[in-house]
Amino acid sequence: MSNGTHYEVLARKYRPQTFSELAGQEHVSRTLQNAIDSGRVAHAFLFTGARGVGKTSTARIMAKTLNCAEGVTHEPCNVCPQCIEITKGTSTDVFEIDGASNNGVDDVRDLRDNIKYLPSHSRYRIIIIDEVHMLSTNAFNALLKTLEEPPEHVKFIFATTEPHKLPVTILSRCQRFDFKRVTLPKIISRLREIAEKEAVTVTDSSLALIARKGDGSMRDSLTAFDQVLAYCGNTVSDEDVSALLGTIDRRLLAEISSAIFGGDTQGVLAGVKQVDLVGYNMRQFCQELIEHFRNLLVIRSVKKPEEILDLTAAELDELQKQSLNITALDIQRRLTLFIKAESEMAYASFPRLIVEMALLKAALLAPLVPIQELIEKIKTLETAAVHTPSLPWEAARAVSSPVPQHKDSHSAARDLPSNTAAAATKPTPSAAGYTDWGSFVAFVNEKDRQLGSVLEHGSPLKQQNGLIEIGFPAGSYYLTAAQDAEFIADVQKLACTFAHGETTIRVKSIETGLVDAPLSLAEKKKSDAEQHLEELRLEVENHPVIKEAERVFGCRITDVREF
């Protein structure tokens, strides 16, 4: 200001003065204008929304509309004394109060006393309280009665970013208007208008960076634009804007994402190095990367992404080109990695390392085979199985399936030759003596399961007419149980019945692993099962269908079980 003139910042210089200039809040403007035109103006309004979206500006426009010398119309004239005073903030009938610094009960009492008087030269006394949620509980209570039954010449307009902090009693007495975050295209359009008025040369991509810095706030965007003009003058370059505002060039994000999907680890780490060279915060970079991948995911997931994403037409077109050969699942898998990395960076000592690890994982992710493709391959295998030998476990089940039982002995006899019908009706053990150890143990099991379970672990050392010698492992539980006199007596009694003759039972101790001793039924059953499972495993491994499945799915057999 070497010429002594006062510089007015853009946010103040281009503050909306009419409802038509209020960008992004058309729903509020239309409702208020309709209320004014129909004479249905409430006595108290509550404007809520994020910072810099036009709440206080709308309150001033509303005040000018109600007190304009031209009459109560849906747009102020902005040339009459009342409008000019309100614009400058010098009106004696419009009070703008900061709720943060005037939040006591005494402040509200003074206000309540002042509004009793008629306006000096306007239609209404208008009370605008910004950040009204900052008022104390006592202050709200002092305001409540006046708010419920205000004088006819008084209008209240409250503005807040945190409406949930207001008492319900206050909320219920106000007409509430929720202000939206201003969309990116609307902010860019407004910045373009201002740039033309200020004779500034700037590209749309630079304006997009500035608008994005505002994060939905028109005032914050204008403040950022002011900062850019102070640095660049009337000619603004993309590089200067990116460096000044500390934003990542979206071209760099595109290059890094392309390297990720291309598996280019060299390009990925080079991109991180570039981010670090410009001194950009790694966590902020990770957040912008998450936002970039989120945009890609939305584009690949919905038919009309422009209705979901807050992007310019050029940005949307560029992202659509990037996502052409990428599936939503590919994007989602990598997005999960970045979200996890961002949360880990909050307390990390090496944020760059965390980002690099996440990006390398994303670049080296193995591609997933689509489920439909797997289904088609399975169908192919099923078709191939029709022309190949049956699967080994099917044959095993057929062999192990029990022979269907006849309903009675008469039907069984009918199915046998006539000379064997009598034998089939009533099988009897051989009278010559006991020769089949397995049959004897099965007979004992039918009569006494407890005795049979011990005999299953015994080895038949001798099987002669009138003598059965059974060996049990030395020191085992089964030897102790078999040496019991009562056990021997019970088994001997059953042996006599089975052999139809006097039979002696003798129990001996044998050393474990004795070569000459025959296997017990339990050992033989275990040995047979192991052998059967090994044969089944070999059949499975060599079966053509299984080999094809291993080739298609890139897997191998680790275990074979029979159910």
Residue 65, pLDDT score: 92
Residue 374, pLDDT score: 66
Residue 339, pLDDT score: 94
Task: List the one residue out of 50, 285, 293 whose CA is nearest residue 183.
Answer: 50
Residue 361, pLDDT score: 93
- Of 183-187, 197-201, 390-394, least confident by mean pLDDT is 390-394
Pairing of strands 459-464, 94-98: unpaired
**In the block, which residue shows the tokens 């965390």?**
354
Residue 306, pLDDT score: 87
Higher pLDDT, 226 or 552: 226
- 53 vs 182: CA distance, rounded Å: 7
- All CATH 1.10.8.60 domain ranges of the chain, comma separated, are 184-245
* Topology adopted by domain 184-245: Helicase, Ruva Protein; domain 3 (1.10.8)
- Backbone φ and ψ of 470, nearest 5°: -120, 130
Task: List the one residue out of 310, 318, 364, 313 whose CA is nearest residue 337.
Answer: 364
- 129 vs 488: CA distance, rounded Å: 104
* Burial of 413 (C-beta count, 10 Å sphere; 0-12/13-18/19+): middle
Residue 139, pLDDT score: 85
Residue 387, pLDDT score: 52
Strand runs labelled E in 91-195: 94-98, 125-130, 154-160, 175-178
**Residue partners of 408: CB distance under 8 A and separation at least 6:** none
- All CATH 3.40.50.300 domain ranges of the chain, comma separated, are 10-178
Tokens of 214: 């505002």
- 364 vs 212: CA distance, rounded Å: 31
295 contacts 312 by C-beta, under 8 angstroms: no
CATH homologous superfamily of 10-178: P-loop containing nucleotide triphosphate hydrolases (3.40.50.300)
Per-residue b or e along 32-68, where b marks 16 or more CB atoms closer than 10 Å to that residue's CB: bbebbeeeebebbbbbbbeebbbbbbbbbbbbbbbbb
Cβ–Cβ contacts within 10 Å for residue 356, how many?
A: 20
Residue 430, pLDDT score: 37
- 61 vs 74: CA distance, rounded Å: 10
Strand runs labelled E in 457-499: 459-464, 467-473
> Averaged over 85-92, what is the pLDDT?
89
> Averaged over 514-523, what is the pLDDT?
77
> Averaged over 390-408, what is the pLDDT?
46
- 237 vs 200: CA distance, rounded Å: 11
Residue 390, pLDDT score: 52
Q: What is the mean pLDDT of the chain?
A: 82
| Helix (DSSP H) and strand (DSSP E) numbers for the chain | 27, 8
- 49 vs 57: CA distance, rounded Å: 13
Task: Give 433's pLDDT tier (boundaries 50, 70, 90).
Answer: very low
- 55 vs 43: CA distance, rounded Å: 17
Residue 365, pLDDT score: 86
192: pLDDT strictly greater than 90: yes
- 225 vs 245: CA distance, rounded Å: 10
Residue 407, pLDDT score: 42
What's the pTM?
0.58
> Averaged over 55-63, what is the pLDDT?
93
- 453 vs 474: CA distance, rounded Å: 18
- Of 279-283, 415-419, 530-534, least confident by mean pLDDT is 415-419
> Averaged over 318-337, what is the pLDDT?
90
Task: Give 513's pLDDT tier (boundaries 50, 70, 90).
Answer: low
Q: Report CA-CA distances (Å) from 210 to 184, 205, 253, 528.
A: 10, 9, 17, 80
Task: Give 535's pLDDT tier (boundaries 50, 70, 90).
Answer: confident
402: pLDDT strictly greater than 60: no
pLDDT more than 90, % of the chain: 28
Q: What is the pLDDT of residues 416-427, one digit of tens each?
A: 333 333 333 333
> Averaged over 309-319, what is the pLDDT?
85
Long-range contacts of 387-393 (CB under 8 A, 24+ apart): 388/543, 388/544, 388/545, 389/543, 389/544, 391/543, 391/545, 392/536, 392/539, 392/540, 392/543, 393/536, 393/540, 393/562
64: pLDDT strictly greater than 90: yes
Residue 370, pLDDT score: 64
- 510 vs 333: CA distance, rounded Å: 64
- Of 117-131, 303-317, 375-389, least confident by mean pLDDT is 375-389
- 448 vs 491: CA distance, rounded Å: 9
401: pLDDT strictly greater than 60: no
Per-residue b or e along 178-207, where b marks 16 or more CB atoms closer than 10 Å to that residue's CB: ebbbbebbbbbebbeebbeeeebebebbbb
Max Cα-Cα span within the chain:
136
In total, the chain counts a number of residues equal to 563
Residue 363, pLDDT score: 92
Task: Give 89's pLDDT tier (boundaries 50, 70, 90).
Answer: confident
> Averaged over 396-425, what is the pLDDT?
40
- 269 vs 361: CA distance, rounded Å: 12
Residue 191, pLDDT score: 92
CATH 3.40.50.300 fits 390-400+427-542, yes or no: no
> Averaged over 505-531, what is the pLDDT?
82
Q: What is the pLDDT of residues 227-269, one digit of tens each?
A: 999 888 888 888 888 778 777 778 888 899 999 999 999 999 9
Residue 386, pLDDT score: 52
Give the single-character DSSP code of 183.
P
Three-state secondary-structure class, residue 346? helix
Task: Give 215's pLDDT tier (boundaries 50, 70, 90).
Answer: confident
- Of 190-194, 203-207, 211-215, 435-439, least confident by mean pLDDT is 435-439
> Averaged over 536-543, what is the pLDDT?
83
Tokens of 39: 């004479």
Residue 355, pLDDT score: 93
543: pLDDT strictly greater than 90: no
Residue 3, pLDDT score: 54
550: pLDDT strictly greater than 80: no
- Of 92-96, 151-155, 435-439, least confident by mean pLDDT is 435-439
Three-state secondary-structure class, residue 364? coil
- All CATH 1.20.272.10 domain ranges of the chain, comma separated, are 250-363
What sign does the CA torsion over 158, 163, 167, 170 have? positive
CATH 1.10.3720.10 fits 250-363, yes or no: no
pLDDT more than 70, % of the chain: 87
